Amino acid sequence: MTRWLLVFVAAVCLWSEASAQVVRMALLTAPPYGALDSEGRASGLYPDIAQALEQATGLDVQVELVPFARAANEVAKGGADATIMMANAFSDGKAVEAVVVFYTRQVLLLRPGLQLGVDRSLNGLTIGRLNGGCQALAERTGAAVKFQEINSQASAVGMLALGRIDAFCSTEEAIRAEIRNQGLEAKLRAAKLMELGARPVWLMLSPTLAPAVAEKLVAGVKRLQKSGQLATIFRNHLGSAYRLQTQEKTPF
């Protein structure tokens, strides 16, 4: 009896140690994924996911918003325990890609009323993009696309609504969030959306993170996906038209 009691106490202690551990999560500063609200608190998709993970796992998840490059670098070198982001040169081979949280879709949103032909040709169109992005579109067909560099998501969505550009290329999350911010849902509801591709967004973990804690975080992400709580977080920020993708699409 005493032996089994000792085993039970030891198991409880190990569980308590994992549950009480602080998990430092470095999340990128880029609305709608992460930003500071008017009271200086972390807000956005990723901080909300971090808070949901805290509730699902019992871990003490502490969020710090950092620039894009620093997020993966902090995790890779052990300055942070976890982050949520796409794989990149800063994370490759350095941070542990533990589980896919969701797939972010790069899309092309056409100006209201613009219809493409059956060949979906983009020749001659003026397409807005940020910071030289949308390389998938630039490289895929060799079409004579005219890119217009735009400084912000807000400017691009506003220009699209006014018909000053033919289309805007960005992530679907960023576009839908900005449409909501500017109250343009009604005006852009009928605008055509073309998906250009999808990339996995990972829960990345530090190689030094305790295996028991890593397992709890991975299980927590899967629980949020299965319960629908993750989809609810995205709809709260992006509206009911957004469809969360958590599995890679397979060709038919």
Residue closest to 242 by CA, chosen among 91, 78, 32, 93: 32
- Which residue in the block uniquely carries the two structure tokens 């969360």? 244
* 208 C-beta neighbours (distance < 10 Å), count: 10
Q: Measure the CA dihedral 81/84/90/95, to 10°.
A: 40
Q: According to CATH, where is 3.40.190.10 located in the chain?
A: 22-103+199-238, 105-197
Bridge partners of residue 25, in order along the sequence = 63, 82
Which residues make Cβ contacts (< 8 Å) with residue 51, sequence separation at least 6?
A: 61
Per-residue pLDDT of the chain (252 residues; tens, 9 = 90+): 555 544 444 554 444 444 458 999 999 999 999 999 888 899 999 999 999 999 999 999 999 999 887 888 889 888 999 999 998 766 777 889 999 999 999 999 999 999 887 667 788 889 999 988 887 776 665 567 789 999 999 999 999 999 999 999 999 999 999 999 999 999 999 899 999 899 999 999 999 999 999 999 999 999 999 999 999 999 999 998 899 999 987 654
CATH number, span 22-103+199-238: 3.40.190.10
Distance of alpha carbon 55 from its chain centroid, rounded?
20
User: Which secondary structure element, helix H or strand E, spans residue 158, and what is its range?
Assistant: helix 153-161
* Residue range 105-197 in CATH 3.30.540.10: no
Residue closest to 37 by CA, chosen among 182, 240, 237: 237
The answer to whether 30 and 66 are in contact (CB under 8 A) is no
